[in-house]
Structure 1
C-alpha cells in the first residue's frame, strides 16, 4: 500500500512549476527525465516531491497532476498536469462555506461500499481537514490490487480544472488508451489506462479516473495490477475495475460531498496567469518559430503560455525539445544558479547540463540550458535524442546543440510569455 505520510500523491502538480527549483542533485535529473509531474508524483506533482532544476519542464507536459495542495504528501496515485503555468496558491475563499467534515474512516467505508464483491485489506484514509483520501488493497479473487480515491478542489472553470480531465500527451507518458466523457451535469470524466512508469518497463499498470465538476470538485481514483504502486510484484494481468466500474466509482455522490467539506483555506485560487493566458501567446508556437532553418517541425504542443514542446527532425531522426517559462523565480535563484553558473552581459545567468534521459530507456540523453534573467524570469529548455521522453534513442545526440539551446532560451520573445 502507498504510505500516506511519505509517498507523494501527485494530486495537483501546479505547485511543481514553482517549487521545482527547491533542491539540486540527481533527484532533479530523474524527475526531469521522467517527464512526470510526479512533481508526483502532478504532483505536481502538484506534490512536494518535485526536486529541482529542469523538473518544471518535464513535469508540465504530462497533462496530469501529481502534487497535493500545499505540498502535502498523500496516498499513492501518481498522476495528476500538470498544469502548464504558475502554481495555484491555496488561500481562503471567504464567500464560500464548507459542509460538515468527513473523517478518514467514513471515506474508507465509502470506498469499501463502492467496490465490487471482494475483500479490501490494509485500508487507510484521511479526512477532509487534511487532503482527504481512502486507499487499500482490493482482492476480488483474481489477485491483490492497490486502489485509492482522493478528493480535492480545483478553481472552477479554469485551465487547471480542464487539464485534469484532458488526456496527457504520449510524447511524455506511455498509455494504452485514454478518453474523456462529458456528463449531463457538465462534469468531465477522464479514464486513462496506462502504466506506473512512463515507459511501462515494470509491467505495473496504473488505471485512473479523473472527475472534475462545474463547481470545482475533483475526484481522482487509481488502481494497479499489484498490491502496491511500487516495489510489489504484478499479481494480475490488469487492475480489477473496468472503465465502467472506475467511472461509477469516481462519480459516486459521496466523494462530491467530501469535496464540499474541504476547509476553505485549502481551496486553491486560479493561477495568476489564468486571466491573461489567452493574450500572452503559446510557448510551443514560439519555440517552433525559433527552430533553426533546415529542421522540420514534426509536431508541437498545444497553446500554453508557460510550457511547450516541438518535435524536430533535421534529417537524422526525431528530437524532442521542450521549454518552460516561469515569471519570477528569484526566491530560488541562489539554489539553481550557484557554482558553475555563467552571467551574460545583460545579467542573465546560465547553467548547462548533459545527463541521461528517462531511466530505463535505452540510449536516451537530455541536454538542458537553464536561464534566469535579472527580473527572475526563468526559461528552461531541454532537448532529447528521441522524439519522446519515453521511447528509445533515435539518434546519437539531440537535434539542437547546446549553443543553439542557449540562444533559444535567451531570446527576448520569452519576455512576453509565461
Structure 2
C-alpha cells in the first residue's frame, strides 16, 4: 500500500512467514555488513523472547544516495515472523517506532496461527561448524603485527573482519567447510591446484571482486586438506563488498592469505567442535 503523511509518500508492505525451529539465524538477524555495508541496524530481544530487528538501508544499494528502506522484522521463538517495510525518498512518513508497532500488533496473530507449520529442517548430524565469532577470532590471531581488525561478522561456517594496515580498510573473509575425503565435486574444483607434500591442495585466484564496488579486486586462496577440511580465505581492497576501492590492493598479500588458510588453527578448532558434536552425515554450505 502507499502511505502519505505530511507531504511524504512511501510504499509500505507487510509479509508474514513461518520458519522451522530453530529459525536459521540468517533469517532473523541484521544484514551482514560485509555484503550490506550501508545497513544501519539494531537487534532487541523483547519480553517473551521474540527478536526485533530494525534496519535502515538504501532502497537500492547500488545507489546509496537515493531512496531509503526502513524495516522491522519480528521473529517469534516458535518461528512465526512479521516483516514490515517502508520504501521511498528521504523523510519517510513512518518511523521505526511506527513500523515496530505494526510488527508487534496482535492483529497478525490469527493470520500467523493459520500458516501451516513448515517441515522440520533435515537433521544433518551437524558436521562440525565453526561459528562466525570463532572464525573471526582465529583470523584476528593470525593477522600480522601492525594490522588492526574490527567489525567482525558472518554466519555459521563463515566469518570476516575489516582490517587496516594504516593504508586503508580491507575486508578479509574465511569460509570453513568439511567435505568427505575424495569427494568428486571437490576433485573437480581442485583439478588444477598445487598439491603439497601432505596432500593438501591449494589454488589461488586474483581478479575483480564479483560483488565489489568500482575498482575493487579480490585475492583468494582456496585449500582442501586430505581429510576434507576446506578453508577458503579472500581479501578485497575495500572495507566491504559494494563499496568502491579504498586502496590499491588488499591489506594482506597472497602469501599471507596462504599462510592463514594453511594454519593448523582451523583443523584444531574444527576438531574441538567435533568432539562436542554427535557424529552424522556431512553437509556443506558456502558463504553468501
In the TM superposition, 1:118-197 aligns within 5 A as: 120=1, 138=2, 140=4, 143=9, 145=11, 147-156=13-22, 160-161=24-25, 164-168=27-31, 170-175=33-38, 177-197=40-60
The superposition leaves residues 209-264 of structure 1 with CA deviations (integer Å, 9 ceiling, x where unpaired) of 21111223233333332xxxxxxxxxx43555431332133224454444444445
State the partner residue of 2:103. Answer: 250
Matched, 1:266 2:119: yes
State the partner residue of 1:313. Answer: 164
Q: CA deviation at 1:201?
A: 3.9
State the partner residue of 1:84. Answer: none
Q: CA deviation at 1:351?
A: 2.9
- Give the 3-state SS of the residue equivalent to 1:301 in structure 2: strand
- Give the 3-state SS of the residue equivalent to 1:185 in structure 2: coil
State the partner residue of 2:233. Answer: 381
Q: Are residues 291 and 331 of structure 1, via their aligned partners in 2, closer, same or farther at CA, if it must alter by over 3 Å?
A: same
Looking at structure 2, the residues matched to 143 and 390 of structure 1 have their Cα atoms a distance apart, in angstroms, of: 28
The superposition leaves residues 41-69 of structure 1 with CA deviations (integer Å, 9 ceiling, x where unpaired) of xxxxxxxxxxxxxxxxxxxxxxxxxxxxx
Q: Are residues 291 and 197 of structure 1, via their aligned partners in 2, closer, same or farther at CA, if it must alter by over 3 Å?
A: farther
- Give the 3-state SS of the residue equivalent to 2:138 in structure 1: helix
Looking at structure 2, the residues matched to 276 and 403 of structure 1 have their Cα atoms a distance apart, in angstroms, of: 26
State the partner residue of 2:213. Answer: 361
Q: Are residues 269 and 386 of structure 1, via their aligned partners in 2, closer, same or farther at CA, if it must alter by over 3 Å?
A: same
Q: CA deviation at 1:380?
A: 1.4
Q: Are residues 218 and 181 of structure 1, via their aligned partners in 2, closer, same or farther at CA, if it must alter by over 3 Å?
A: same
Q: Are residues 202 and 270 of structure 1, via their aligned partners in 2, closer, same or farther at CA, if it must alter by over 3 Å?
A: farther
Q: CA deviation at 1:312?
A: 2.6
Q: Are residues 270 and 178 of structure 1, via their aligned partners in 2, closer, same or farther at CA, if it must alter by over 3 Å?
A: farther
Selected match of 2:178 from 314, 327, 336: 327
In the TM superposition, 1:60-99 aligns within 5 A as: none
Contiguous gaps of at least 5 residues in structure 2: 274-288
Matched, 1:215 2:67: no
Contiguous gaps of at least 5 residues in structure 1: 1-119, 121-137, 226-235
Q: TM-score, normalised by structure 1?
A: 0.53
Looking at structure 2, the residues matched to 177 and 301 of structure 1 have their Cα atoms a distance apart, in angstroms, of: 15
Q: CA deviation at 1:375?
A: 3.5
State the partner residue of 2:247. Answer: 395
Q: Are residues 386 and 148 of structure 1, via their aligned partners in 2, closer, same or farther at CA, if it must alter by over 3 Å?
A: same
Looking at structure 2, the residues matched to 291 and 376 of structure 1 have their Cα atoms a distance apart, in angstroms, of: 25
Q: Are residues 148 and 272 of structure 1, via their aligned partners in 2, closer, same or farther at CA, if it must alter by over 3 Å?
A: farther
Name the Cα RMSD after superposition: 3.6
Looking at structure 2, the residues matched to 272 and 185 of structure 1 have their Cα atoms a distance apart, in angstroms, of: 30
Higher relative contact order (CA 8 A, sep 6+): 2
**Structure number, greater radius of gyration:** 2
